[in-house]
Amino acid sequence: MKIQLITQASPSLSRLFIIDDSSDWDLLPLTSQHISYIGACVDKKQHLITFNEFGTITMVLFLQKEDATYRTDENCRQKGMTVINTLNQHKVEEVLIENLSNLPHASLLLAEGISLGNYQFLKYKQEAANLRHSLQTISILESDAGANKVAELQTIIEAVYIARNLVNEPLSYLTAPQISQEIAICSQAAGFKHTLFDKKRIEEEKMGGLLAVNKGSVDPPTFNILEWKPENAVNEQPIVLVGKGIVYDTGGLSLKSTTNSMDHMKCDMGGAAAVIGALYAVSKNKLPLYVVGLVPATDNRPGGNAYAPGDVIKMRSGHTVEVLNTDAEGRMILADGLDYAKSYNPSLVIDIATLTGGALMTIAQEGMLLFSNASSEDTKTISEVGFQVFERLWEMPLWSEFSDKLKSNIADFKNVGGRQASSITAAKFLQNFTDFPWMHIDMASMGWMYQGQGYRLKQGSGAGVRLFYHFFTAKLNHYLNNSDTGQTSGVQAIETI
Ligand code: BES
Ligand code: ZN
Ligand code: ZN
């Protein structure tokens, strides 16, 4: 999807006007008949009105204010879905959005909803050309948004598309070596540095958790470092993201046994996809922030040599883990990733993972679980951003009592803490491998959408990308506002969309 600024509408262009109860309807370039018809529709609570004049579509969207700003913003994005259905039905290729409402970012929000809702994954369809949506370009009037905001949005959308594509790709294509290839392509396109550790290097690093999970696989594991360290970075100690890159999760020898529970397990690298998308967006938009992404990758399957319940594994950190369920594999590879993160002396580490079925049971598909021992300011910021981008986070406790469930008879810990509060015991397991301000996001609830929620389409969600990107811009503003000289690298405060 292309999002661009234009100065003026040409007469044949399909247009979409955003209005609300504050708008001067006489500014609509329509006849008085059109306008009184719009009034009648709005009275009947019909808020999207479409006129078709010989193939040129004119749409008028009446926006309603919600109680909270984040709800009004989300409503505006969600209206994008209604709009694209109509535009695609009428085979419209380009639409111009004009904002006559008093919601300042309405054009950008609507463009965001339209472009996210217009996503398709057609790679494996023979009929792709016929199935492809007609809509290709969203134009925004120059008076409604700045060029930098439009370019920024375009990159964010690309990043979400990248993350969704990665989640939607099956294991038959997206093996651990292949995810590294995909990261290499993104690094070329966006400008971050990619370092790949192959199996030999992973062995030298003594990443016992990643190697154990990989033992049943026919493909080697990979460990990927994505680094964005611009010269004008405002921070010396990086923010490190760690994403679970299980390209497919069968459960291993503790094979998943519930009916259909394996059907969507290609989504188990949703955390990795979020990290890759976030690094793409920060680096392509050249945010002056030092950010590192770490992606340990393998599939998890049974096999002649697969790791087995009862095995004791020595992790990179030196801790030993008694594996009592090979399906609790995400924490095994993340633990090595978190331990590796220590080498950066990070200011903050956030891991993101489709870690526990418990997350889905807890919050359904309405949000993701957040665990944090980082500063209350960072925790508050990421929670607020979660509401703003509508990838909502809900904070769970890290009480020490939960660690008791991970005690092992023969090793430092077990890798499972029982059925109760499984998302929390998983987080407590990970905490053992941290010595820095840390947040953990369990996105098993949202990595794969079983049902579409408007522009959050069915299948791979790309969740986490917008969350991280806007968290970074918020952090950047904090750094800039708190800097003593106020002259840090000449960067101006960045508004979030
Ligand atoms: N990948 C799964 C979690 C998952 C479930 C992701 C549903 C997406 C949707 C994870 O590796 C897993 O199997 N977790 C187990 C852990 C248990 C064995 C302690 C779980 O949550 O059941
Ligand atoms: Zn598993
Ligand atoms: Zn898993």
265, 329 Cβ separation under 8 angstroms:
no
**Per-residue pLDDT tens over the stretch 414-459:** 999 999 999 999 999 999 999 999 999 999 999 999 999 999 999 9
Give the global pTM: 0.96
* pLDDT of the residue at 10: 84
Residue 253 Cβ inside 6 Å of ligand 1? The answer reads no
pLDDT category, 491, cuts 50, 70, 90? Answer: very low
Q: What average pLDDT does this structure show over 149-158? A: 98
Residue 290 near residue 230, CB atoms below 8 Å:
yes
Q: In the chain, pLDDT over 70 holds for what percent of residues? A: 97
Which of 24-33, 127-136, 234-243 is least confident? 24-33
Model pLDDT, residue 164: 98
Confidence class for position 11, pLDDT limits 50, 70, 90:
confident
Quote the ligand 1 centre to 248 CA distance (angstroms): 12
Can 256 be counted among the known catalytic residues? yes
Fill in the DSSP letter of residue 456.
Answer: B
Could you identify the residue written with the tokens 């020898």? 253
CA-nearest residue, atom 22 of ligand 1 = 357
Provide the edge-to-edge strand list for the sheet that holds 312-314. 312-314, 320-322, 413-414
Atom of ligand 1 nearest to the CA of 249: 1
- What is the DSSP code string of 64-128? ---SSHHHHHHHHHHHHHHHHHHHHHTT--EEEEEE-SS-TTHHHHHHHHHHHHT----TT-TTH
Q: What is the pLDDT of residue 484?
A: 47
Distance 140 CA to ligand 3 centre (A): 41
Q: How far, in Å, from the CA of 365 to the mean position of ligand 2? A: 19
Tokens of 312: 């004791």
Collect all residues with Cβ–Cβ distance below 8 Å to 181 and sequence separation of at least 6. Answer: none
447: which DSSP letter? S
pLDDT digits (tens, 9 = 90+) for 59-109: 999 999 898 999 999 999 999 999 999 999 999 999 999 999 999 999 999
**Is a pLDDT exceeding 70 seen at residue 256?**
yes
Catalytic one among 229, 256, 286, 342? 256
**Ligand 1 site, residue 327, Cβ cutoff 6 A:** yes
Q: What mean pLDDT comes out for the span 31-50?
A: 95
Interatomic CA distance for residues 292 and 250, integer angstroms: 29
Q: Euclidean distance between the first and final Cα of the chain, in Å?
A: 18
All residues with CB under 5 Å from ion ligand 2:
249, 327, 329
Distance of alpha carbon 105 from its chain centroid, rounded? Answer: 21
Question: Cβ(443) to ligand 1 under 6 A?
Answer: no
Q: Which atom of ligand 1 is nearest to the CA of 356?
A: 21
Compute φ and ψ for 282, nearest 5 degrees: -65, -40
Which residue from 408, 410, 449 is spatially nearest to 425, judged by alpha carbons? 408
Per-residue pLDDT reduced to its tens digit, 408-426: 999 999 999 999 999 999 9
CA–CA gap between residue 174 and residue 265 (Å, rounded): 12
pLDDT at residue 311 in the model: 98
Q: Give the span between the Cα atoms of 444 and 360, in whole angstroms.
A: 6
The amino acid occupying position 269 is M
**Burial of 399: CB neighbours in 10 Å, binned 0-12, 13-18, 19+:** exposed
- Catalytic-role residue among 331, 428, 456, 466: 331
Query: DSSP string covering 178-228, please?
Result: HHHHHHHHHHHHH--EEEEE-HHHHHHTT-HHHHHHHTT-SS--EEEEEEE
Which residue carries 């019909």 as its tokens? Answer: 46
409: tokens are 């008879």
**407 phi and psi, to 5 degrees?**
-70, 135
pLDDT tens digits, one per residue of 200-220: 999 999 999 999 999 999 999
What does the DSSP assignment read for 342-393?
GGG--SEEEEEE---HHHHHHHTTS-EEEEE-S-HHHHHHHHHHHHHHT--E
